[in-house]
Structures are given as structure tokens and as C-alpha cells.
Chain A
Amino acid sequence: MARNSLTGSRIRERRMFMGRKQADLARAVGISPSYLNLIEHNRRRIGGKLINDIARELGVEPSALTEGAEAALLDTLREAAADHGGATEELPRLEEFVGRFPGWARLLADTRRRSSELEHSVEILSDRMTHDPFLSTSLHEVISTVTAIRSTATILAETRDIDAEWRDRFHRNMAEDSARLAESAEALVRYLDEASSTDVTGSTPQEELDNWLKAQDFHIAELERALPLEPETLINRAGELKSTAAKALARGFLERYLKDAGHMPLKTFGQAAVDSGFDPAALATRYGVDLAAVFRRLASLPAGDVGGEIGLVSCDGSGTLTFRKPVDDFPLPRYSAACALWPLYMALSRPMSPVRRVVEMGGRSRRLFVTYAVCQPSQPAGFDGPPVLEAAMLILPLEITQMVDAAAELEVGTSCRICPRPACAARREPSIMAEAF
């Protein structure tokens, strides 16, 4: 989304910061409150005299409203400042800082992002060192063998009057143990070798898949052709998919994609989706598939064909996000848990009951989205096996749906730490944004 399309959000944010009523500001600049409301939700362009009037009323430079600073940049910096005493004191001057030194601000944000990525890598690696059963078994094996060899060798070297029978026995033990040591040392080296070559970045398999899908814009053209490529061929071609685990995840994803594409051919589906105003129920009926399949298919459509980006998140029964396709102004948490109020979790708590909610995303933009969510159980281990839950939530920008004039039914966020909503019933931990707003 272009920078200046967020002018309305900045006006709203500034107005709320000053504690002014919408109607009051509207009267002061001579427009109707409902028109100001449309402006504040970025649904009407605004310029010229009106922007100057509003800026004056709000006590800021017009450019602060039209250009602003990118929301993501501010969020990152706010997060960086959270645990830092000095910076926290200067938080009220954050916008000023970003405005005056955009280059430095970006450097700081990039450094911050890089350091959290590295922290995450270190966490993964140390987790592996501590909990990897193969590593600890191998090390134990090596140490045990070395202990036996050392002890035996010392006996042989230091006992002058050792009798022949004992000497032969200890020699035999040493030969045995050294062969064992060679074997376990080799296995250990092989293991570490593989680990370092597959996971240089320390990223998780899920992230490898995410990055690859992002690079494809979540649309796999090779699977849309009349004679689609084999998923395996695609996986082998994808340089981003390095670890065996990521390849396995990709295989599952692509096989399902192929099936969805077969049931809902691109040729008719894109148009049908637009015509129905992206109504998953209508599409599911028309194509004879379940809702989750329609969600996945909608999220795989090229943005250009349908007039906007369509997002999708999935989670398993534990609430862990298993698939993330973000859309502008609806950021998805990368490492932390998501917002408990997402309709995704509403659906998770009542399988097979679809949920539709118009939500307003917290943060700077306050854009509206239509979300559809559903949770479906499956029985991969047979009828008597444990039911496995998968929930999915489709995220549609309000503008591209037929509900353009809907009002927000639910206010949600990305994740508590970076969520500005002060009085949230489902808050899990304090926000680092509270003071800033």
C-alpha cells in the first residue's frame, strides 16, 4: 500500500491522541462527521485545503499527515525501545526522530530486526544442543568409550608387573573400544556436518517454506498448467528449501495445492470468486469442496486477478500457526503467539461452525477486513484415532468484498506485545505500545 493512502489513519490516530471527538473535528473544518469517518478509514482521498485545515486543527504539519512515517518502521523502533530505559523516555519523540533522520531510523530498525533473527537462531541452536537426543546419545557414547580407553591405557602403561593374561585382555578391550570410538565419532561428525549445511541460517523448516512461498507470491504457476509439474520436481528446484523437514512440509503443501487446483480450476475460479464477492460458502457449493479448500484456493489467486491481496492463516489444535500469508496492514506474528481474539481461534473452539467477522486491525492503519474462519477435524489415524484439528482464517480487505460499507464488529491485533489496544479483555501480556498512543 502506498504511503499516502494512510493519511486517514494518521488523522484518526492524531485525533484520538488528542482526545478529540470526530464530530468536533468535522465541525471545525466544515465537513460532515460521516465524511470525516470515511476519510479516517482511508476510503476517501483528501488533499489541498482540507488537509491543511485538519493539520492546523490537530496542531501538526500537513506533511506529518500525508507522508507520515511507515507504520512498520515505527512499530519496529517502538519494539526496540521497549526494553531500553533511555529510549523509552524519548518515545514521544519517535515520529520526530524518524522524520528528521529516516536513514538512521531505518538502520536502527534493520539492526534490531537482524538481532532478533539472530537471537532466534541462537535459541534454536541451543535448544538443539540441549534437547537433541541423537547428539546427547552420541556424546555419551564417545565419553564412555574414551573413559574406558583412558583407564585401560593407563593400566597398561603404569603397571610394570601385569601378567600376560590381563595384559592381553586389556589390549583386546582397547582395540574394541577404539573401534567403537572411531565409529561414534564418525557418526557425530556426519550428523554435525548435515546440520550445519542444511541449517546455516538457523531458521525453522516452517520459515524455509514460508520464505519460498513468499517468493512465489503464494501462487504456484507450475501447478496451474494443464500438465502440472510433479511437486517433487518443484521442491528439488527450489533453492530455498534446504532441510529435509522443510521439503517434507513443502511436499504436503504442494500435494494439497495440486488437488485444490484440480477441483477449482483457475480458468473459472478466479472469475467466480470475484462475482460472488469472495463468498466461500457459495464457492464451496459450486465446486463441491469444503470451506477450507476454498480458503486455500482464494489465497492462491494472483492479487492482480482479483483486485487485491487475500491473506490466510492456519493453525493446528494447539493454536500454533502452521501457515501464514500476510496482507498489508494485517501483519502476522513471526515468532510469538497471535491475537487471541482472531476469529481463527473462535472457529478453533467450535469445530465445524463457520465464523464471519468484520475486524479492525489495531495499530496505525486501523483498516477493516472481512475474515472467514472454519475449523475442521480429521481422523488421519483412523476412526478411533485422535481427532486432529485444523483451523483456517481467510483475510479479505474490506474494499474488495461486497460488504464495503460494513462497520467493524471486532477489534483485533497482531500479538499482545505490539498491540495498542489498552483495554483488551483477552490481553496476555502488557503492550509496549500503550504509552505511545
Chain B
Amino acid sequence: MGKRVLLVEDEPNIIEAIRFILSRDGWVVDTHSDGSTAVDTVLSAVPDVLVLDVMLPGKSGFDILRELRGASATADLPILMLTAKGQGRDRELAERYGANRFMTKPFSNSEVLETVNALQAGVTDQA
């Protein structure tokens, strides 16, 4: 049985790179780029781990996070938030809305890989 990760991100070349590194580690990688339909996509097939960007077209990553935490199927889904905005307010919001991990761009590949694996293994304490 494959481990499934869903990557919600709108930057095609970032998608490509992350897909490559996670695939090589044995992950099945699905991607989604539209914020407004992201919640439906997650709920229709809940992945093992969700990687969620903050700045998305259509709907902000924070709103998506909040909605997912409100739904019973995804209340405990391991979620890694990605943001391009420093550590301040975004990190605080991510924590408040219930993200398991938080990572600022530009991240390193190994960091992403380690974090996604840790989330799957159930190590969900804050980075």
C-alpha cells in the first residue's frame, strides 16, 4: 500500500521538484493548484499527509486549513503549511488554526522530505 501525499501549491516548478523528491522516496504524489476547490479535493480522497501553501489563487491556505480542521474526516490529518512570509504572523495563524508543521520558503528538499515522513510516522510536534 503506497503512502499518499497531496500537495496544494500553485507554482508549477515547485510542484515538479517536490513531486520528484517525494516520488523517489516512495510517495504517491497528487497535486492541486486551485485554492477555491482545494477543500473538496482533500475531502474526496483524504491523503496520508497534506502539504498546503498559504498563498493560493481563489482561497487562502489559512481558510482551507480552518475548514479542514472543522471537518471530521480531516480533523486529525497531518498538515504541513508552506509560506513565503517570514516567521511572524503567518506562523502564529498556522499554529492557531491547527497546522502540524510550518515551513518557510525557500525550504530545502531534505527538510521537506524529512518533515513529510515524520508527519506520516506520527511525530506531529511543532518544528
Write the residues of chain A forming the contact surface with B, with a CB cutoff of 8 angstroms: 139-140, 143-144, 146-148, 150-152, 154-155, 158-159, 166, 169-170, 173, 176-177
- A169–B17 CA distance with the chains assembled, in angstroms: 10
Q: Which of B11, B13, B24, B108 gathers the greatest number of chain A CB atoms within 10 Å?
A: B13
| Complex partner residue of B16 from A139, A143, A144, A173, CB under 8 angstroms | A173
**Complex contact A155–B106 (CB within 8 A):** no
A139 to B24, CA, bound (A): 31
Q: Which 6 A-B pairs have the closest CB atoms?
A: A151-B17, A148-B13, A147-B106, A143-B84, A147-B105, A173-B13
Is B21's CB under 8 angstroms from A155's CB? Answer: yes
B residues whose Cβ falls under 8 Å from a Cβ of A: 11, 13-14, 16-18, 20-21, 24, 55, 84-85, 105-110
User: Looking at the complex, which one of A140, A147, A154 makes contact with B14 (CB distance below 8 Å)?
Assistant: A147
B84 near A148 (CB under 8 angstroms)? no
A175 to B16, CA, bound (A): 14
Please, could you name 5 A-B residue pairs with CB atoms under 8 Å apart, sorted by A?
Answer: A143-B105, A151-B18, A154-B110, A155-B21, A176-B13
A140 to B86, CA, bound (A): 11
- Chain A residues near B106 (CB, 8 Å)? 143, 146-147, 150-151
CB proximity of B74 to chain A, nearest CB, Å: 26
Contact B105 A144 (CB under 8 A): yes
Distance, CA A148 to CA B11, complexed state (A): 8
Q: Are the CB atoms of A177 and B13 closer together than 8 Å?
A: yes
* Residue among A151, A154, A169, A176 with max Cβ neighbours from chain B (10 Å): A151
Q: Which residues of A contact B55 (CB under 8 A)?
A: 140
Which of B11, B17, B24, B106 has the largest count of A CB atoms less than 10 A from its CB? B17
Q: Is A155 a contact partner of B105 (Cβ separation < 8 A)?
A: no
| In the bound complex, CA of A248 to CA of B23 (Å) | 56
List B contacts of A159 (CB < 8 A). 24
| B84 x A151 contact (CB < 8 A) | no
Whole-angstrom distance between the Cβ of B114 and the nearest chain A Cβ: 14
From B14, B21, B108, A144 is in contact (CB under 8 Å) with B14
The residue on A at minimum CB distance from B82 is A147
Q: B111 → chain A, closest Cβ, in Å?
A: 10
A144-B84 contact given A154-B108, A154-B109, CB 8 Å threshold: yes
Q: Which residues of A contact B14 (CB under 8 A)?
A: 144, 147-148, 151
- What is the bound-complex CA distance between A338 and B17, given in angstroms? 57
B-chain residues with CB within 8 Å of residue A177 when the two chains form the complex: 13
Nearest-neighbour CB distance to chain B for A325, whole angstroms, equals 42
Q: Can you name the residue of chain B whose Cβ is closest to the Cβ of A176?
A: B13
Contacts of B20 in A (CB 8 A): 155, 166, 170
B84 vs chain A, min Cβ distance (A) = 4
Q: Cα distance A319–B13 when bound, in Å?
A: 50
- Evaluate contact between B108 and A169: CB separation under 8 angstroms: no
Nearest residue (CB) in A for B83 is: A143
- Nearest to A154 among chain B residues (CB) is B109
Complex Cα gap A19–B21 (Å):
84
- What are the residues of chain B within 8 A of A143 when measuring CB–CB? 84, 105-106
Q: Who on chain A is nearest to B21 by CB?
A: A155
Q: Which residue of A lies closest to B54 (CB)?
A: A140
Residue pair A169, B16 in contact (C-beta under 8 Å): yes
Q: Is B109 within 8 A of A147, CB to CB?
A: no
- Closest-CB distance, B105 to chain A (whole angstroms): 4
Extra contacts, 6 of them, besides A151-B21, A151-B107, A152-B13 (Cβ < 8 A), are: A140-B84, A147-B106, A150-B106, A152-B16, A170-B17, A173-B16
Contacts of B21 in A (CB 8 A): 151, 155
Residue in chain B with minimal CB distance to A162: B20
**Complex formed: what's the CA distance from A169 to B108 in Å?**
20
Which of chain A's residues has its CB closest to B106's CB?
A: A147
- Chain B, residue nearest A177 (CB): B13
Nearest Cβ in chain A — how far from B23, in angstroms?
A: 10
Identify the closest chain A residue to B53 (Cβ): A144
**Cβ contact of A155, chosen from B11, B17, B85, B107, cutoff 8 A:** B17
A151 CA / B85 CA spacing, docked (Å): 18
B118 to chain A, nearest CB (A): 19
Do residues B109 and A155 form an inter-chain contact, with CB atoms below 8 A? yes
Highest count of chain B CB atoms <10 Å: which of A140, A148, A154, A155: A148
Write the chain B residue with the least CB distance to A146. B106
When distances are taken between beta carbons in the complex, the residues of chain B under 8 Å from A146 are 105-106
Give, as a whole number of angstroms, the nearest-CB distance from A179 to chain B: 12
Minimal beta-carbon separation of B65 from chain A (angstroms): 19
